[in-house]
Structure 1
Amino acid sequence: MRKLRLLLFPVAGIYYLVTLTRNKLYDTGIFKSKKYDVPVICVGNLSVGGTGKSPMTEFVVRLLQDDYRVATLSRGYGRKTKGYLDVNPENQATMVGDEPLQFAQKFNNIQVAVCEDRQTGIETLLSKVDPPEVVVLDDAYQHRKVGAGFYMLLTAYSDLYSNDFLLPAGNLREPRAGASRAEVVVVTKCPENLSSQEQLSIVDSLNVNKTQQVYFSTISYDEKVYSALGPVPLNRLKVKKVTLVTGIANPKPLSAYLASQGLSFSHEAYGDHHNFTSSEIEMLETLDCILTTEKDYVRLRPLLKMRDLFYLPIKAQFLDGEELLSGEIKNFVSGF
């Protein structure tokens, strides 16, 4: 695979020119980014693959939901519908996307919407009787038709954008210089014991500008797993024949965590946002106990009749600086 990607460097050069030109046209005002009369926060990344956007979006929602009418707006990746849709907990993931459905089922006092055109999405939200006071864009860093007021750029500890290359030779959606648009950079999925010295080394490698603050976060796993019947401690699953079923970009951290907790399991791994076929569902129905991610659970629950279907929630947990980041976000919203 690595050799194949090396052969694709000439194509990456063409992609570089296209994306660089597009960004320059927006930066110079030839292409227009539309701004709105409400605070718009964008959570995104430079690369394809999982950097932890959903847990970070949930962090922002938790921070603001008690004081403001908050709306999340996503593309609704993998859905079979098009255009603007309001998301409610009773929807199917195939209609609205798994991550927006996860937000709608978890937070009962926010608006959740999907629309591939973020301008249309924001304008539809703002036309409602009770419009949101804050809009959080999930995965819209490259959607430059909208000019967000606060950009949170995520990069995974194990795959820093500073060490990556443009598609198709690497995983970057745009040149590294695009990082300069962000107010803050968050290095996600870090080891909990990441030293201050290594943090400084990473900050140096990211080549951020003087106005950008860099934060470091890790994945925090819930102590309990959840099913339609409610929560139970994770260690209750040790007496069951567990199969871990994942349809996410990088299941290695989850697999390693479960192993560290002494859980024995087999693993059925599928691609990110995988739409399960009828034959796959039939196979999964034969399993004794399934443990999955929250994102996969919203897709699997309507399809599986089995009793022992559990998910393990996660949160973004900061190694340090959470109060400082929270203050930055709150100051942006209150001072808008």
Structure 2
Amino acid sequence: MKPLTTLASKFYSATMAYRNRRFDRGDRVVDVGRPVISVGNLTMGGTGKTPTVQWIVRLLQARGHLPLVALRGYAAGKPQLSDEAMEHEQMLPGVPVLVDPDRVGAIEAFLKKDPSRDVVVLDDGFQHRFVARQLDLVLIDARRSLDAERVFPAGRLREPLSSLSRATDVLVTHAASVDPVLRKRISMLHGRDPTAWCDHVWTGLSRFDVDGETTLDTLSGIRVITRLGIAAAEGVRNQIVEAGGVIVADVAARDHAPVTASEMQRLAEACTRADALLVTGKDWVKLQPLVDWSALQVPVLVPRLTLNFVSGQEELERRLLGVFASSESA
């Protein structure tokens, strides 16, 4: 590791520690008048927050609650261009999705107009501590070694691993089973075992073409071009291969990258060698308005994701629904 990078990481860690001490004292932390569930992580990049937020929202709805989602809108110059927000709006019809770096102001303004919403779900809220919360859920990716992580800019950590002790609960994602070594390491950092373990699995694929949307149950033998503008694209590519799909070519895209008209043209040209274009939900919400089906001429496949719990689902649900009781007693 370069000395300057090491020095920058130490400075960044010290800055985060100072910031967290202020929040620990309650400085500028605002109670928005509703129970708040925060979903976040320690690292930059994908741990599965989007499907987890959607799973939580559906759980709350199934129990008769009226949630709203609030997020910063990463990499979006305009709120309406946030791919995370657009995907939430598409997958959670009727649920208000507030996109604003000032989440306190956005939530308070919305609740003045619609006080019926009885719970707030913060997407990527662990470091955004201006909003008081009843439950702070941190996601840990089982595919990555915790002890190999380094604090930014030397690595992907947004703050030191010791900050995990601040979370109320830990959900281990992308886990096919409970890993006793990882469980012990998390317990050392967090003070107790993870609340739950889950994997992100495909339940099928949405198939979009000139005639609209249908479903597809299998990828077996289908040749695809991929365009995966997410942090953990390798996991999607692995699932394509496991499902029997054949990746003809992968069009590289950085996390949250916008889709341009010129890129759509390149994708259409690449797809002349394939049976379909496969993208994630975050890609599709940006790509959909630009699709010219006369040029693309192949369907677009979008995997449908759900959480498959291998341990702790009932306890996590109990903890999530318990925010209403803890809010009333606060």
TM-score (norm: length of structure 1): 0.87
- Match runs of 1:36-75 below 5 Å: 36-66=32-62, 67-75=64-72
* In 2, Cα distance between equivalents of 1:155 and 1:137: 17
* In 2, Cα distance between equivalents of 1:331 and 1:140: 19
Task: Indicate the residue corresponding to 1:217 in structure 2.
Answer: 198
Question: Cα offset for 1:186?
Answer: 1.1
**1:251 pairs with one of 230, 233, 238:** 233
Question: Cα offset for 1:333?
Answer: 2.5
Question: Cα offset for 1:267?
Answer: 1.6
- Match runs of 1:235-274 below 5 Å: 235=218, 238-239=221-222, 241-265=223-247, 266-274=249-257
Give % identity.
Answer: 27
CA RMSD of the aligned region, Å? Answer: 2.0
Is 1:293 equivalent to 2:280 in the alignment? yes
Is 1:15 equivalent to 2:12 in the alignment? yes
Is 1:156 equivalent to 2:138 in the alignment? no
Structure 2 residue runs of 5 or longer lacking an equivalent are none
Tell whether the 8 Å contact from 2:167 to 2:190 is kept in structure 1 after alignment: no
Question: Cα offset for 1:235?
Answer: 2.9
Change (3 A) 1:216 1:71: same
Q: How many corresponding residue pairs?
A: 314
* In 2, Cα distance between equivalents of 1:158 and 1:22: 30
* In 1, Cα distance between equivalents of 2:36 and 2:81: 21
Task: Indicate the residue corresponding to 2:73 in structure 1.
Answer: 76
After alignment, is 129-138 or 205-214 more displaced? 205-214
* In 2, Cα distance between equivalents of 1:162 and 1:125: 41
Tell whether the 8 Å contact from 2:66 to 2:116 is kept in structure 1 after alignment: yes
Task: Indicate the residue corresponding to 1:129 in structure 2.
Answer: 114
Please give the secondary structure, in 2, of the residue aligned with 1:302: helix
* In 2, Cα distance between equivalents of 1:23 and 1:335: 23
Amino acid at match of 1:245: R
Please give the secondary structure, in 2, of the residue aligned with 1:14: helix
**2:183 pairs with one of 203, 208, 223:** 203
* In 2, Cα distance between equivalents of 1:226 and 1:39: 37
Is 1:311 equivalent to 2:302 in the alignment? yes
Question: Cα offset for 1:295?
Answer: 1.1
Change (3 A) 1:283 1:7: same
Tell whether the 8 Å contact from 1:225 to 1:233 is kept in structure 2 after alignment: yes
Tell whether the 8 Å contact from 1:203 to 1:214 is kept in structure 2 after alignment: no
